[in-house]
Chain A
């Protein structure tokens, strides 16, 4: 009874507005910090910190709130990955990536006269959602407040509504045709949600309240799972209650890499932690700090390293429960030296990118690059493919006043996922991240129960055992490019976090034969890249969400935390005002 009264009191305080937070694109505070792609979500986390919750409590509140205010980017129908470092030194990586339903096979898709690539925007494209399982694991690891308190901001936003921002309006507009067919109830009486209008989602508020009352397990083993099963049967999806029942979020220790004396804690496969570290390992061999952010040589070296990392990703990143790949060797400094040798500082790659695939296997036993190269082993199977991916997904970063840190990325894959709308949320279309058809030896062939590969990369960077930066970004295939851009800006070019985010970005990605850059680089830089180094340039307007929507929290030596929201997506940082 006492506990119940406390919960009621906490919720009442939350709603009466006695809790004060400060929210802006860049915020400084020593009381804890939340940075997200959306100001409402950031504020929801800051309120929890102000109430005395820790970073994990705040992360759960932000995750739930993002599902409300950005229903196109994440939510109960989605999945993700979180890296958590606690002040007591413990570190966790929560893999709540989706899995393929057991009924989803190439044969089953072919029997319907379809291909995997043509089911992305149908209920057949849905993989088993993991967000709620991830929230549950996070809560078990170290939350201090009950779910009812943590869900209150999300319920309030869904029930009472919020003002639609430009990103919300634009994504709805871009996906309007699909939504009109599959999610009419989501639309504004059949129309696009316009910037400035008020969006309410009472159905989602009911769903969140139900999950709070019945417990998270209702989604996986309870009555909500039954309803999902029935919905999928009726609409031709592969997902069944048995898939939900067998789904587990996985808790591991995060992978560890270093860059110029900083410790980076990153996700395991099937997401891009190892690829991110591999690229930084290559770049560590260059004296980038002797250059500047707009030096064409620096851009060239980074872009070429990114391409090599992405070529390797296709061979070395998959679900470790299904494929025993040498991803730790892929992350080794010795392997990086063999990749470094391929980069010509004065010229772009002149062969198809797939031909630059490296062989990380020999490095699994700790061999040096000299030993390995002298043995000249054969390369592994490549599965290169070119896919244009949407800049969807969402990320947030949190540090509390005790120094606990959470870096959390969640997604429904494309904006609006499959477009399949159920009880106020959208189901993911992660199925598209498997190989489009069966290919012998490919590490991402569609397999029931397997997690598909993606490029998300939530990261915590530490220096001498203390959190220095918490960062991450949405942006599909551009995520690792953005992450490397950010870390190089922070470490090599010594930029403050807001400048690191603001500076124009570029992409190195094996699916792009051109060098894609935001406006803002000097003309002399562009001329040099094009005329001297041989890059084919593709310049985007500034800022462009295509490159991602990163947010960062920096923790200074004096304990001051500086948060910067996602410039490219109208995000904010928010801090409690104790």
Chain B
């Protein structure tokens, strides 16, 4: 019995350590918006706080990016009609732009973070559509807690078997970044 417990403990520790190592993210990081809400720009404010090595453009196009230069791709999701309008694009064009980037990131072995930074205000038909479209690419979710009150992100992360980190306030993302990037 003792032996069995010891074995289980060793297996548990192994799984835990493997999981933790696997989900640890690396720099440099490439950041873009998916939906053109201001969340992506707010991400960069937090990224500066933890001295994250990142490059950001809310409208990166796949042909303009050398993904091999990066280790992690952060997609900050949030559909904004005003933001899309200002960029002169519609939701379909936006989704296709980010999908192309995600595919390229996956080919180059980058970890992909899907991040909701603006909480419940970026939940809705368009924002949810972006998230579910990108879900197959997710290595990890960073989610502001009030965006997950209905368990939407929990369901996605559990279904894909990828971790999810939540935070209460926007600035709380700082701790999540510090943890995941070992800062």
Contacts and interface: CB of A to CB of B under 8 A. Distances in A.
Contacts of B45: 180, 190-191
A173 B118 contact: yes
Nearest to A179: B38
Nearest to A197: B169
Interface in B149-177: 170-171
A174 B82 contact: yes
Contact of A176 (B42, B119, B121, B171): B42
Interface residues on B, range: 10 to 19
Interface in B1-49: 37-38, 41-42, 45
A174 B37 CA distance: 8
Residue picked from A170, A189, A190, A191, most chain B C-beta under 10 Å: A191
A62 interface: no
B38 A177 contact: yes
A189 B80 CA distance: 22
B38 A189 contact: no
B170 A192 contact: yes
Given A189-B171, A191-B171, A192-B170, A177 B41 contact: yes
B7 to A, nearest CB: 48
Given A191-B45, A192-B38, A192-B42, A173 B121 contact: yes
A165 interface: no
Contacts of A328: none
Contacts of A188: 170
Nearest to A195: B121
A186 to B, nearest CB: 14
Contacts of B118: 173, 192
B42 A191 contact: yes
Nearest to A187: B45
Contacts of A176: 38, 41-42
Interface string A188-220: 111110110000000000000000000000000
Residue picked from A170, A173, A174, A195, most chain B C-beta under 10 Å: A173
B171 A173 contact: no
Residue picked from B119, B121, B171, most chain A C-beta under 10 Å: B121
Nearest to B44: A180
A192 B83 CA distance: 15
A169 B122 CA distance: 13
Given A192-B170, A194-B170, A173 B119 contact: no
Interface residues of A, number: 14
Contacts of B119: 194
B171 to A, nearest CB: 6
A476 B141 CA distance: 41
Nearest to A190: B45
Interface string A240-284: 000000000000000000000000000000000000000000000
B121 A169 contact: yes
Contacts of A173: 37-38, 80, 118, 121
Residue picked from B38, B119, B170, most chain A C-beta under 10 Å: B38
Interface string B74-96: 00000010100000000000000
Nearest to A180: B41
Contacts of B82: 174
Contacts of A194: 119, 121, 170
A173 B171 CA distance: 15
Nearest to A388: B85
Contacts of A174: 38, 80, 82
A169 B37 CA distance: 13
A96 to B, nearest CB: 30
Nearest to B122: A173
A59 B171 CA distance: 39
Contacts of B121: 169-170, 173, 194-195
Interface string B116-127: 001101000000
Contacts of A180: 41, 45
A161 B37 CA distance: 27
A191 B41 CA distance: 9
A169 B80 CA distance: 14
A85 B45 CA distance: 50
Interface string A152-191: 0000000000000000011001101100100000001111
A177 B41 CA distance: 7
A380 B42 CA distance: 50
Interface string B42-76: 10010000000000000000000000000000000
A195 B144 CA distance: 14
A169 B42 CA distance: 14
Contacts of B37: 173
Residue picked from A170, A176, A180, most chain B C-beta under 10 Å: A176
B180 to A, nearest CB: 20
Nearest to B45: A190
Contacts of B170: 188, 191-192, 194
Nearest to A541: B81
Interface string A426-448: 00000000000000000000000
Contacts of A177: 38, 41
Nearest to B83: A174
Given A177-B38, A195-B121, 9 more contacts: A169-B121, A170-B121, A173-B121, A176-B38, A176-B41, A180-B45, A192-B42, A192-B118, A194-B121
Interface of B: 37-38, 41-42, 45, 80, 82, 118-119, 121, 170-171
22 contacts: A170-B121, A173-B37, A173-B38, A173-B80, A174-B82, A176-B38, A176-B41, A176-B42, A177-B38, A177-B41, A180-B45, A190-B42, A190-B45, A191-B42, A191-B170, A192-B42, A192-B118, A192-B170, A194-B119, A194-B121, A194-B170, A195-B121
Q: Which 4 A-B pairs have the closest CB atoms?
A: A176-B38, A190-B45, A191-B170, A174-B82
